[in-house]
Structure 1
Amino acid sequence: MTRRRLLPAILLAGILASVLLLAGCKSTEKGVSTWSANGGDPSFEKQEEVSADKLMQFGVYPQSKADSKIQSDIKSKVTIDEETGLWNECDDETMYARYDLETGYFIYAAKVDGVRQEEQYYMQCGEDLFLVEPLQWIVLETVGSDSIIISNKVIDGGRKYSDLYGECTWETSSIRDWLNGTGDYDARTGSAYNTQLNFINRAFTSDEISRIQTVSLTAADNETYGTDGGASTTDKIYLLSAAEFEEYFKAEDSEINAMAYATDYAVARGVSVGEDSEANWWLRDPGAKTYMLGVNRAGTVTEGGYSVHDTTEGIRPVLRVPTSLLQRVEVSAE
């Protein structure tokens, strides 16, 4: 094949690589946060996080910021060739690293005495890389052989609840589309979600996705503000309703901390956090007009909610899976 015929393919590969790099963490239009320093609660104080022995693992997602040396090594040695537009691969005495075009991850493995160690995966967000790690979940309820689980931390953000202007419901929301990999990624341009951009395909394997239960959901009307909850839906991945939040987090016998803390990746995505990384997060019920309810940093439901165009709120996915798929988090002995 001649160089002239190769050029379009090379350019296409370079463009696709750039899209995937930005897909995990593109620049977002910052909304106006409605937070006060204490989350709107004068009695605000940090609560203990859920202990590791009570958490379960299922799926993976970018979370912790990578070690500075690993970041430096990957960025300096895995680059795009200026002539070919293709990614350079590094395989020297100290490390192996490459960029995987299909997943949008950097793959890295240190070498000890020339022997390649276990591979690790990193997602780029802005100028930093974030380690892809097992997702940790809190079991909210056991129903027969299934468990209803919510992410232990706020794992993503920087996303508008709705890409369109005007009133919004869970049914019509962009966040619902992003979580489930359905509908339009950007309603203004009509560009569809693909496997590199949505949550469900990045976090889970095809086999895991097939085992996640599809559940029927409703969102309550907001009588205080006269806003419509929207039509019922069936989804694999969803957000809690305000009533479910109260049931699971605020019941007298509940041992679950209502405050949530954000991962490094979520903060890089644009989630607003306090000094201990406590964050506010979305629910699926409507608030005031063009607002949706959320949980504030102090762990209580906001009265009027947050603007559907605010990008500083975080996301805690909820799903129902067979309990047999969940693995206990290994707790190292001290």
Structure 2
Amino acid sequence: MEYIEISSSLLFGGYNWRVLDIHNNTALIITEEIIDQRPYHDAYEDITWADCALRKYLNGEFYDKFTEADKSRIITVVNKNPDNQWYGSKGGADTKDSIFLLSLEEVCTYFGDSRSKLYNRGKNQRYWFERKDENNSKRLAKLLGKEWCWWWWLRSPGRVNIKAVYIFGTDGNIGIQGNNILKGNISDGKCTGGVRPALWLKLEL
């Protein structure tokens, strides 16, 4: 059996992945780097993860890039998609995914435990999850082939359903209010957000 542990790295399908969790000879993994830049959806409309264009791409065109041998190790799972805890925007239906983005809850669990801050909103907190969260730096990721970090999408809804939650690129804050699903952060002149695919992988025996 290949030896891996939580927080270690492994090579799979031509990408380097970080191990976030291990359970019953399977591992939850996420790409170490941001491997692409894409909008969350292809139209400016209310949307949830279940129906967004990025989910369709990850479970279609992106998934099909893997070899048949690699596909046999990717486990299809049912993902829960909770409502946004601060704003109540709808997370949508449960989804059956081979490839997915992490949820707000998952990123608060697997990059250090920040769940208490998620469920106990400070009275002056409006836009950012927690600027002084000790786990912020653990969420930073570089855009593939670049020397600088970039922001990346989560699958959770933002303040409204024309936004999706994201990880801020300079310090790893969680943007719980969300960025525009079609054009990202319009105010800074930059367009689409980063993509860090995640999946459950069957470990080799």
* Pairwise TM-score range, normalised by the shorter structure: 0.7 to 0.9
Counterpart in 2 of 1:160?
39
Deviation at 1:251, TM superposition (A): 2.2
Greater CA radius of gyration, 1 or 2? 1
Long gaps (5+) in structure 2: 1-6, 115-134, 184-190
Letter of the 2:156 counterpart: D
C-alpha displacement of 1:223: 4.4
The structure 2 residue matched to 1:307, chosen from 175, 180, 186, is 180
Report deviation, 1:222: 1.8
Map of 1:284 onto structure 2: 155
- Which of 139, 161, 168 is equivalent to 1:296? 168
User: 2:49–2:156: 8 Å Cα contact kept in structure 1?
Assistant: yes
Corresponding position of 1:261: 142
Shift of 1:262: 0.8
- For residue 67 of structure 2, what is the aligned residue in structure 1? 205
Code of the aligned partner of 1:302? G
The aligned counterpart of 2:131 is none
Give, in whole Å, the separation in 1 of the partners of 2:85 and 2:19: 30
Match in the other structure for 2:118: none
CA distance in 2, matches of 1:57, 1:205: 14
In the alignment, which residue of structure 2 is the partner of 1:250? 112
Show the counterpart of 1:116.
Answer: none
Q: Give yes or no for contact 1:155–1:314 (8 Å, CA) kept in 2.
A: yes
Secondary structure at the aligned position of 2:51 is classed as: coil
Q: Which residue of 1 aligns with 2:126?
A: none
Return the match for 2:11 from 46, 54, 57: 57
Task: Compare relative contact order (CA 8 Å, sep 6+) and give the higher one, 1 or 2.
Answer: 2
1:303 alignment partner, SS class: strand
Q: Quick one: which amino acid aligns to residue 9 of structure 2?
A: L
The correspondence for 1:321, drawn from 186, 201, 204, is 201
1:186-221 deviation per Cα after TM superposition (whole angstroms, max 9, x unaligned) = xxxxxxxxxxxx11122x102211221011101111
Please tell me the root mean square deviation across aligned C-alpha atoms, in Å.
Answer: 2.1
State the alpha-carbon separation in 2 of the partners of residues 237 and 136 from structure 1: 15
Matched, 1:224 2:86: yes
C-alpha deviation, 1:164, in angstroms: 2.4
On the 8 A contact 1:250/1:258 being kept in 2, the answer is no
Which consecutive segments of 4 or more residues in structure 1 shift more than 3 A? Answer: none
The number of residue pairs the alignment matches comes to 170
SS of the aligned residue for 1:171 comes to: helix
Unmatched runs of 5 consecutive residues or more in structure 1: 1-52, 61-134, 182-197, 268-275, 326-334
